[in-house]
Structure 1
Amino acid sequence: MRSDLVTNPIKQHYVPQSYLNFFTDDSNYFYSYLVKSNKIIRQSPKNTGFQKNFYTLEYEGVKNYEIETYLANNIDCLYKPVVEKIVNDGILSLNDKKDLITFICFQYLRTPYHRENINKNLVKSFRFRNRANIDSNDNEPIDISKEHSLSHMFEFADEMIQMLMKHDFIILRSPKEGEFMTSDNPYCMVQEKWSYGSGGLGILNTAKFFPLTPKHLLYLRNPKNLDIGGRDMNPINLNRKEVRRLNLMIAYQAHHFIYTKNNHILNNITKTLNKKK
């Protein structure tokens, strides 16, 4: 059913079904690892990666579903056409690349993980500004409105899209025996070995990765000159060891869920995760 035909879309996905569908098996299910409970279950994209009323705003008792409807009709639908072209070894146009980057940016900005970080930073900033107030209590909870993180999502999206469009665009492909996993926080950032200080979205010392399908992963590499912009690079075929290293990175940066249709790979990765705890 089209989301614009749903009157009250209460079940709101922060990881779109249009994305998760690429990681399912023939029955449209995958294995989902629950990070907090250290448990593996079978799920469908419809029944994971969502929270009720996650984007819903309420004014004077009236609920507003415009953000959920906007994401469903303008962002989630961008993914499938571009990725199907990648799967079929097609050449991406500039518009294709922008559609994919737009989807990736919103995917990063719309998650509970990102909302929690935004709220934590706001609380830190508030307490720092009020540190001289003798009546302030650092242990007292501060309620942050949902509007704050949702506003940030839209305010920062254009800046992030423009910045990522300037990166080298490289497709990494897994071998026949290997597969990429994904998670509820699939946009991964890794600080370059040569760099110093903290990494970030706009800093040239951070590599960005995003699993597209079990066989394809997008690597956004820092260009030599960000002002000039990046290049389209030939796809790179990886071996099993390289895919496993990337899967560990994806698993480490997951928030609550890791997804894959390959239970053997998931068991192998989660054993490694638990050893590190």
Structure 2
Amino acid sequence: MKRILENVITTATTIFLPRGYRESVQIIEESTHSQHEQSAEILNRSLEEITAKFRITDALYANEIEVQGVIKHEFTNVNNLHEIQQSFANNEGVLYLVDSNTKKEINRSFIHNKVGYFSRILRIAPDFVYELNEQQYWINIEAIRNVEEEHEHTKSLNLLYRALYQATQIHIDVNFEYGKTTKERTYQLEYFRVDRNSLFIVMKDFEDNSVYSHNFEHIRDIKCSNRGEGLNFWLYMAHDTYRFYIPYTEESLNNPDIPIDPIIKHVVSKL
């Protein structure tokens, strides 16, 4: 196992670096496998885009075993996938893109031991090695939303933007550290900034003028329900789900003069 990883990391391209540190990367010139070609496209994206727009779907341990005198490459699902996914979303660890020739060689002797009810059967070796806390995992990643989901997400962002633009108040729990919504109060909405995968808001307390701000990151999905005189929004993120309530009127919400930020209409290109 150790020898496999040493060879892989020697020939791999590092594309994900520890927080606060960047390094130039080399684009893969040739790839014989279509999936590997798609994975190589990630190299064209910034560090922030990788963790904001992609998620880990599979994480496996790799090992070399001998079967009837032949060396096989054995992959086994990890039992801490959620923890690994969270670390990835937090920009921790180092991600390597496996060299296409190395992957092709491994696929000739590929064995997958499926562990866990939700584990998928894999037919080929993953494209990436993720190094975290001195442990190496072979992983697959995919876009957090497909093309259809991106269009629905655009509609949700448009509604959220309109609601925030016309709002002077927001009903929310400012105890963001715990990600709970058990102590909601109404605050004055001072400022907001909506991105495809994040929301930054600034609020002021009506009683003591205390100012609170928070950046909701890695938003995967947005849900909304109409309460007649206001909208309940749920933000589904990599780690938590958060809820808040925005009062509105139909006239103000549907105002055609609201200058919608162009970034909301931008659909992320598929992987």
Normalised by the size of structure 1, how large is the TM-score?
0.24
Indicate the structure with greater strand content: 2
Larger RCO of the pair (alpha carbons < 8 Å, separation 6+): 1
Normalised by the size of structure 2, how large is the TM-score?
0.24
Q: Which has the larger radius of gyration?
A: 2
Indicate the structure with greater helix content: 1
